[in-house]
Amino acid sequence: MNELSYRRAFSLQLRKELTQLGRRYGSVLTPLLFFAVVVALFPLSTDPSPQRLATIASSAVWVAALLAAMLAQQTLFRGDFEDGSLQLMALSALPLWLQVIAKQMAHWLVSGLPLVLLSPLAAYSLNMAPQGYTTLMVSLLLGSLSLSSLGAIGAALTVSIRQGGLLFAVLVLPLMVPVLILGTQATELASKGDNAAGLLNMLVAICLLSVTLSPFATAAAIRVSLD
Amino acid sequence: MNAFMTWFYQMSSPPHFYRWAGRAIPWFMWPALILSAVAAYLGLVRSPEDYQMGHTVRIMYVHVPSAWLSMWCYTSMAVASAIGWIWRMKLAHAVAAAIAPAGAALTFLALVTGAIWGKPTWGTYWVWDARLTSELVLLFLFMGVVLLRNAFEDRAQGDRAAAILAIVGVVNVPIIHYSVNWWNTLHQSASVSVAGKSGIDSSMLMPLLLMVLGFTLYLVALILMRTRNEVLLRESRKRWVQELVQS
Amino acid sequence: MSIDSVSTLPQNTYPNVRVSATGLELWRGDRCLFNDLSFTLNLPVLHVCGANGSGKTTLLKVLCGLTITERGNVTWTHDKRILTTGEVRGQLAYTGHQEALNPALTVAENLQWGAGLYRELSNDEIQQATEEHQLDSLTSLLACSLSAGQKRRVALLRSVLSHVPVWVWDEPYANLDAAGVEWVNALIEAHVARGGCLILSAHQKPAINPEQVQTLGLTS
Amino acid sequence: MIEWLNMDGDGIYVWPCYVLTLIVLIANVWVAKLQHASLLKRAAARARHNDARTEVLEEISP
C-alpha cells in the first residue's frame, strides 16, 4: 500500500501549478491589467477633481481588486477539467481538499498577491491619503485570500457547466459582501487617520473561517462536477 | 422515538410521501387562508394607526412575515439539502428544490413591500436600509441556488451542487446580515426602524402573529405542493408513477 | 517486447484485487444506461464491450467511484477483504478518454505529477521508463505538441509507472498504430503476469490468452 | 366606505402592498397546480409510450 503523506500531496500539486502558471506570463498580467482598467474607469466616469476622487478611492480600488481576483479565479479548475487531470486528482489516494488548497495557493500567489502589492499605486492615482495604504494592503491581502477560498467553491461548482463564468459571478459575489464592506470601511477609516484595527480583526476572522472550511466544500463540489 | 423514525423512513419513500402530501395539503391550505384573512381584517380594520406613521404601519402585517419567513425558507432549504446530501435522500433534495423558488418569491415580496413602505417613511422608494439590503443579498443567494440547480442536465447532480451552495450560503447569511447592519450604522444615523418590533402595543402584535402563522401554514402547503411536483419530475420513470397515472 | 523486459513494473507481484457490482441502476436524463446490472470479476482482465453509447465509459467511472449510481453498489475486495473507498483510491490507475496531460507542461513533468499522485518517484526513474518504452524522445516536449497516439502512450505509461494493482483503461487502443497495439498487449500481459487486475473498455478483444479475460457485454 | 379605503391619504401605499401580496401568493399556488397537471400529463404520455414498447421498469424497494 502506498504511504499517504500530506506534504507530498501539497508540494506535488503546488509544483505542478507553479510551473504551469510560470509558463504563461499571461496568467499574471491579465488580472493586473483588468484591475488597472477598472480603476481607470472610475475617474473617467465622474469629474476627476482630487477631492471628488478621494471620496470614492477606497471603494473603487476594492471593487476593481475584487473583480480582477474573481476573473482570475473563474477558470481555476476549467483547464484541469477539460484535459482530465481533475479526475486523476479525485481518484488519487492523496486528499483532494489538500490538493485544492495547493491549487488555490498557487493561483493566489500568481494573481492575488500582485494585486495586493500594486493596490497602493491605484490608490495613489485616485488621490487616497497615503496613511491609508498599509491598511489597504492588509485588508486586500485578507480579502483576496477569502475570495480565493470562496471563489474556489464557485469555480468547482460551475466547472462542468458550459457558460459557467457568469453563473460563477452570481454565486460568489453575494458571499463576498461582508469582506467588501469591512475592507472598504477599514481603508476609509485609515485614510482619514482613524484606527481601523477593529474592522481588520473581523476581516481576519472571516478570512480564517473561509480559508479553513472552504477546501472541504470545494472537494465535495469537484466530486459532484465529475459525476 | 422509533415511531418518529419509522414515519421518517416511510416518508422517505417517494410514493408514500406523494400520497401523504396529497392528503395533507388541504389541511394546511385552509387554516392558512382563514388565519390570514382574520389577520388581514384585524390589521386593516381593527388595529390602531401609528401616531407617527399613520396607516402605513399596516404594511408591517405583510412585510414582516414575508421577511421573517424568507430567512426561515433559506435555513430550512439548507437543512433539507444537508439531509439529502448526508443520507442521499432524493426526497430531501426534492424538498430543497421546492423551497428555493418559494423562498425567492417571499424575499421579493419582502423587498417590494419594504420599498413601498419606504416611500411615506423616507420619501423615496429605495433606501439602502440595513434590512432591505440584506433582504436584497438574500434574494441574490436564492437566485444563485435556483440557477445553479437547473444549470445541470442531470437532476441528481444539480441537486447535490445546489446542496453545497445552500450549505455554504447558510453559513454566510448571518455574517452578511451583521456586516450589513454594521455598515448601515456606520454610514447612516439610526433611521426610523421600519418594523419597530420592540415596544409595539398588543393590539398590533395580535394581527402580526396571526399573519406570521397564516403565512407559515401557507408556505408549508405550497412547499408540499411543489415537492410533489419535484418528486414527479425525478421519479417520472418509475413504475409507481405510471400506475398512478394510469389508474 | 517480451514480458520480462518490461522492468518498469514492480518486481514483486501485486495483491489479488477483484471487483463485483450488484444491482447497478443509472439513468442519464431519460435514457436508462444500466438496469439491475450485476457481475463479479474472478479473472484478471474484465473486457467491457458494447456499441457506442451503451455506457461503457460510465460503467468504468462507476467502478472507480467517480459516478454515483441511483441504486446498487460496487465492492472492491482484496483477497476476500472488502476495501473502503479510501483504500481503493490508492490502488487504482484510471486512464479515460482524456489523457490528463497538461498542455503547458512537458511529458516528463506530466508523468512526474501523474505517477506522483500514487507514489514517490525520481526523475531518473521516469527517464529510464520512457527510454524503455521508446518514448524518451518526447520527454522534453510540451504535451500540447504531441500527437493523439503519443498522448495515449504517455497516459498508459503513467499507469505503468504508478505501480498499482488495478488499471482501469478506457479505450486504450484508441489512436494507436499497430506497434502501439502490440505494446499495449505486452503491457497487459506483464501486468497480469504479476497478478495485476485490468478493467478495460474496447471494441476489440485484448490479444492475450482468453482464459484470463472475462467479457461483459453492455446492450444500449 | 370610501373614507376607510382612503385611510386619510396612506391608502395608496397600504393597498398596493396587500394586493401585491395576494397576487404573489396566489400566483405561486396556481403555477404549482399548472406544473402538477402538466407533469401528470407527461407521465401519462410516457406510460402509454412505454406500454407500447412493453418495457416496464421494475420497482425496486427504496
Contact B219, B102 (CB under 8 A): yes
- Print burial letters for A57-75: b (CB count within 10 Å at least 16), e (below 16): bbbbbbbbbbebbbbbbbb
The CATH number of the structural domain formed by C3-218 is 3.40.50.300
Please tell me what DSSP assigns to residue B121.
H
Residue B152 vs residues A173, B156, D43: alpha-carbon distances, Å: 21, 9, 22
User: Contact A95/A7 with Cβ under 8 angstroms?
Assistant: no
**Quick one: how many helices (H) and strands (E) in chain D?**
2, 0
Chain mean position to CA D2: 34
- Taking residues A91-102, report their average pLDDT: 90
- The rounded distance, in Å, linking the Cα atoms of B110 and B212 is 13
Task: Mark which residues 1-60 of D lie under 8 Å from C by CB.
Answer: 57-58, 60
Q: In this predicted model, which residue has the larger pLDDT, A134 or C28?
A: A134
What's the one-letter identity of residue A148? S
| pLDDT one-digit tens code per residue, C90-105 | 888 999 888 889 988 8
In chain C, which residues touch B (CB < 8 A)?
27-30, 32, 68, 70
pTM of the prediction? 0.90
Distance CA C52, CA D12 (A): 66
Residue B42, pLDDT > 60, answer yes
Measured between CB atoms, which of C68, C87, C104 is closest to A23? C104
Task: Summarize the confidence of residues B217-229 as an average pLDDT.
Answer: 95
Report the complex ipTM.
0.88
**Domain residue ranges in chain A:** 7-225
DSSP code, position B195: S
Beta strands C213-218 and C166-170: pairing type?
Answer: unpaired
Domain ranges of chain C: 3-218
Helices (H) and strands (E) in chain A, counts: 11, 0
Q: What is the DSSP letter of B88?
A: -
3-state secondary structure A2-31: CCCCHHHHHHHHHHHHHHHHHHCCHHHHHH
Tell me the average pLDDT across A178-206. 92
**CB-CB contact of A19 with A110 (8 Å):** no
D2-30 tens-digit pLDDT: 777 777 777 888 888 999 999 999 999 99
Lowest mean pLDDT among A9-13, A58-62, B98-102: A9-13
- Scanning B209-228 for CB atoms below 8 A from D yields 218, 221-222, 225-226, 228
Of B140, B167, B175, nearest to A170 by CB-CB distance is: B140
Residue A3 is predicted with a pLDDT of 53
Residue A90, chain C, CB below 8 Å: the answer is yes
Residues 6+ apart with CB under 8 A from C166: C17, C19, C76, C91, C92, C93, C196, C197, C198, C199
Element holding A75 (H helix, E strand): none
| Residue of B49, B229, B236 with shortest CB distance to D32 | B229
**Which amino acid, residue A139?**
S
Is D47 close to B246, i.e. CB distance below 8 A? yes
User: Three-state DSSP class for C194?
Assistant: coil
Q: What is the distance between the alpha carbons of residues B194 and B209, in angstroms, rounded to a whole number?
A: 17
Q: What is the pLDDT of residue C129?
A: 87
